[in-house]
Chains A and B, each alone.
Chain A
């Protein structure tokens, strides 16, 4: 097994193992900002351990779709973890699988399978949740594609690694309007895709206003553990793409040595801390939007990316 194969495994392992910690830290930090004590940062691991030990109750109306969906989703997230820059600055052996657009499709497949599962067991809340998520997704998708175009305008490719190199090697490219606008637009999408405030409240408890959570209300036990774990991985992945590709393109590890990988992990933890601060600030200073204003929020992302692309055309870069 070469060093690169080792790093490949290390990268996916990092995503798998650190994602719950990231979610736990976010929850704790938010609680502290709101003057509460909050759960321990290790709470997600405890939840996982408890859920994995439990058996699951599945409605007798549910079909194989309901059973299979968590595995499909989890596999999707694991796939993405192999192809995007998380700890190294050069593509790892499996990165040829997909570019940014391909990665987005895999993430969309995960969301789609969960939506199907929510419809499958015929619970009204599940239907409500999946229709809402699909609506938001359908608004976020065009904006996301435009964000990829801003990336393309800068690096002449849709490969996250090349974008990272283009930015890391030129201070001028870093403050280019195209890039700044694309980054802000992408951050909005990260918030929307992960169901954070102001799109959805991750700690909400009222079923009727939930979006993301109401899709998975029917799950329990092992399947629920997979779904939760998957959604933490999604947050972790999108945050690290956001940081590594858009905000702090420096500090990624050398892809030829394990030491480089370890250094990359250390840098990643620092970057995620920065991203987490941003998310916590937004979570605690904004209110959740009324449902139909979400379109305007995502429209802003679309507009930003569009202006970014048009500007790149004007500036010629």
Chain B
């Protein structure tokens, strides 16, 4: 068991270590992706073991793996694998064009691996203090990726990202502090008082006022990382400036890690203060959906468009958590997985488009279906998937969430959610449909490099997974999600 826990963190680092030892970029990239796939295997194994044997604890609670951690680890590992594969082509093309120096490539490989490993590690941390440390560390690693291309605009985005996230995460630390304080009446030693399992077990005995404050501060703090409005301002900049595979990691993995921390806090606070936590999450969730959808309307940069869509989807997940109940949690977790894969595909696709057209402005990309049929198809289908049309997985999860809304809070919230989803649909498709099938005003790309296998594979694999999840939820996944819900309620 402990071997799996360690392997999950170490495997993604293998490629980077090999690269530092002199292995060439291409091979190191493949090794990185293989490491990601290995981590995915570990995560799956952990999922099987924890659903069968219950949570695993080690090192006096510093390591704690339950089905929920395994579920999120699977999500992150999938994204890391796909993005790792996508990086190979992206980095190589950029290097051949002289956009990236060898040092930058080295930085990219190392910090990409570090970023993935730290996120996976934070999912295994059972101590809320350690969770904070690892989340902050993953922020720092990803900030380097955002600044990698060293334009003034990428430094600007990275600066905004790091200063706002650090601010937010510091607030989350205050939240953790208050949670720790809330437990001061318990007869536990300091280490146990930060251990999630202990806190969850003794949640009834926690002092309510400090718990409330702690939860609110944690939502604001980790919500900054998740990109919940109004703490989302760093997100579009960072996502649009980072190299596209790194954007895929930010959107598909990092945001989920933040959400994971919020879920952990909600589990503790929800025992006695269920309605309060629901209200808080509903407010932030709906604000984020509205802001995300409204800004999507006026986005002209397609990477920013995807970023605002991430804000919207994080809002949907928060709303699902706010609806609560088994149905709500089920929808939230399923949506996390679906969104991660879908957004990963879209950002990787945007990376290929940027490589071809050398622009991020949506109006300068036209008729993609004609000039690059594969990319066009992926972009179109990916867009349909991300806005929640059947038969893709996001349709199923959004449908579950709306049902949860009807079941728990009455029709008003559910209809509000539906209205906002429609707005998001229009705003998103308006841009991407023009990019794929729109004809006029097209700047045909100067060169049309043939697509690499390593770049095409993750796109198709991701779409395939979304399609499968849209029509059939495997029994194992269903088990895992149900056990995850069991672990936090």
A and B directly contacting (CB within 8 A): no
Q: Which residues of A contact B (CB under 8 A)?
A: none
